Structure 1
Amino acid sequence: MGYHGRDVEVVSISKEQYLVASCDSCGAIGMKDLDEVRISWSITGRLTTRVALMEVLSTGAVPQMMTVAISNEPYPTGEGILEGVREELVFARLTLPMAISTEKNIITQQTGLGVSVIGVAEKNQLRIGTSQSGDNIYCLGFPKVGPEINNPEDSEIVQIHHIQALLNICGVHDIIPVGSRGIHVEAQQLASNVKKQMIVDPSCVLDLHKSAGPSTCLIVSASSSSIFDLKSSGFERLPLTKLGRLD
């Protein structure tokens, strides 16, 4: 179907359901000789898995299965990455079957990883293009990238349970994880998808053009009455910034 810049693909599989697929890739981040960012392979696996899961969950879909494509040898790189993948699933309280592939023929000098997640959404619960005129747009978390991220449980970045909580708040509409394109592009795309404009709040001090790396923040459109629920739903330690409103 294509959804105007969203990092997911949505296909109708029946009168009642959509198939929702997302993927995320990661290169030169790990412990190999030529990696640009030096970090444990388990963190590489965990954060890459988080991105793909958040993209599917944010649409209202329920993840059903995943694939993990590791462009490196099974041990030690593959084993370390898979440790992180499984840790993130446990942290998200999800159990998913997965297809796994590693490189067994060529010696590699940089870490390479791709994770895909496939989910199913009920058509009446799909969270794409549901924003409404007058909605406020908020950013949860801070945009961080590269060496700024060394702790998957950093209190300033979004995690799976934040999306799971947002899905249960009345008045929350679109939920979009922010990646390398930055907050501004994602917010403008959200507005464009519902044929509205975003009026930027002059008090916003976030860098709207900075890459958010492995989706360290997300944007949310919500009715003005939802701000109390946002502040009281487990986000008290996570930065919440008003970006503007839809008009």
Structure 2
Amino acid sequence: MIVIKQINFRIPMEMDSQIEELSEKFGLSRSEIIRQALTLYFKIIGDLDKLTNIRELSKEEIQITQENIRDVHFINLDSFNISIVISNSSSGGIGPKIHDQVSVDGEVVGSIIARTALIKMLSISAEPTTVLLNFSNEMEETGRNIIQGVNTECKKIGINNVVVGHSEENIKTCQTGVSITAIGLLETNQLIQPEIKKGDKVFCIGHPSVGEDILNMKLPQIEDIKLLQKNKSIKKIIPVGHPGIKKEINNHLSNTELTIQWKNTDIDLNLSAGPTSAVIAITKPKLKQKQIEKRSRIPITEIGKVK
């Protein structure tokens, strides 16, 4: 049983306006906004203190920059070589509601959407610490089932802090809608990854699929990404979303003169990979497919090489 204690404190007027804005935006009370903000703060500072002494921080010393890499956002605390990493995902029309286009249990929806957001973060070697969840449906029973699926994925990497924000309790809904945000930490120098060069190989892990097809496919799991990260011959891991494999790689190489020589395979390079139903691995030239298969439980296909 959680014991609630009332406290009073003073805050700047600007912060008070921000709390009010968030309260109106998400339909939460001011107290709930403050409670969730403190929950996130304590979690982030707790992990931050493992890497630097929080008592040494001062407002004047902190230098902050921000950047996006694909759809992952970084808030870089440059003075301390720490980045707060934010990734997200959403789902609509998939679930147990009467007008959902893909009919599936809410727990499955939660599991799939959680692994999508977490894989984005794990693929860049960040450490997820907190997950935030919002629904466009009622908490009972749709929300509860989705939370179960999210918790299943979070427990795989030791995340116990799942913050549930807004649910729709005023309007009866006929389709499932959910959004998820993952927050984590990364030592900023880990953003510097090995340079991609001519001759590097390109592998597809999993198989691009979308809609009902994903229910019958072996999807890349959190465990698969963690195992791939341990292979020093893998230079880059790129989760594939709705743009498809070809666009994802072309976007990644857009600032270089490199291109891909594609192999003739049964992989559809243009098909949406939905909720990360496929992951790209760019590797050193000498790495063989069998060496990757030892660390994966899902289909792997060599689809090209860098030229």
CA offset at residue 134 of structure 1? 2.7
Match of 2:238 in 1: 176
* Bigger Rg, which one: 2
Answer yes or no: is the 8 Å Cα contact 1:26–1:114 preserved in 2. Answer: yes
Task: Answer yes or no: is 1:224 the counterpart of 2:279.
Answer: no
Task: Answer yes or no: is 1:240 the counterpart of 2:300.
Answer: yes
1:208 aligned partner, one-letter code: L
CA offset at residue 190 of structure 1? 2.1
Which ranges of structure 2 fall in alignment gaps of 5 or more residues? Answer: 1-65
Q: 1:117 to 1:29 in 2, by over 3 A?
A: same
Answer yes or no: is the 8 Å Cα contact 1:130–1:174 preserved in 2. Answer: no
CA offset at residue 230 of structure 1? 1.4
Deviates most, 201-210 or 176-185: 201-210
Match of 1:211 in 2: 272
TM-score norm. by structure 1 comes to: 0.90
Question: How many residue pairs get matched?
Answer: 239
CA offset at residue 140 of structure 1? 0.4
CA offset at residue 130 of structure 1? 4.4
Q: In the TM superposition, what whole-angstrom CA distance separates every residue of 1:147-192 from its partner, at most 9, and x where no partner exists?
A: 11226xx5x3211111101111112111111111111111112222
- Map 1:102-141 → 2, pairs under 5 A: 102-126=167-191, 130-141=195-206
Q: In the TM superposition, what whole-angstrom CA distance separates every residue of 1:91-119 from its partner, at most 9, and x where no partner exists?
A: x2322312102122222111100000011
Match of 1:75 in 2: 140
Answer yes or no: is the 8 Å Cα contact 2:261–2:306 preserved in 1. Answer: no
Deviates most, 133-142 or 68-77: 133-142
Task: Answer yes or no: is 1:97 the counterpart of 2:161.
Answer: yes
Deviates most, 200-209 or 141-150: 200-209
Deviates most, 204-213 or 20-29: 204-213
Q: Residues of 1 paired with 2:90 and 2:192: CA distance? A: 24
Return the structure number with greater relative CO, CA threshold 8 A, min gap 6: 1
Match of 1:197 in 2: 258
Secondary structure of the residue aligned to 1:175 is strand
Answer yes or no: is the 8 Å Cα contact 2:207–2:299 preserved in 1. Answer: yes
Match of 1:166 in 2: 228
Deviates most, 109-118 or 141-150: 141-150
Structure 1 or 2: more helix by fraction: 2
CA offset at residue 129 of structure 1? 7.7
Q: Residues of 2 paired with 1:185 and 1:123: CA distance? A: 27
Match of 1:8 in 2: 72
Secondary structure of the residue aligned to 1:226 is coil
1:34 to 74, 79, 99: 99
Deviates most, 139-148 or 184-193: 184-193
Superposition RMSD on alpha carbons, in Å? 1.9
Q: Residues of 1 paired with 2:195 and 2:74: CA distance? A: 15
Answer yes or no: is the 8 Å Cα contact 1:59–1:127 preserved in 2. Answer: no
Q: 1:2 to 1:134 in 2, by over 3 A?
A: farther
1:186 to 236, 240, 248: 248
Q: In the TM superposition, what whole-angstrom CA distance separates every residue of 1:203-234 from its partner, at most 9, and x where no partner exists?
A: 3331001111110110011101233531322x
Q: Residues of 2 paired with 1:125 and 1:74: CA distance? A: 39
Deviates most, 109-118 or 181-190: 181-190
Which ranges of structure 1 fall in alignment gaps of 5 or more residues? Answer: none
Match of 1:86 in 2: 151
CA offset at residue 146 of structure 1? 0.8
TM-score norm. by structure 2 comes to: 0.73
Answer yes or no: is the 8 Å Cα contact 1:127–1:174 preserved in 2. Answer: no
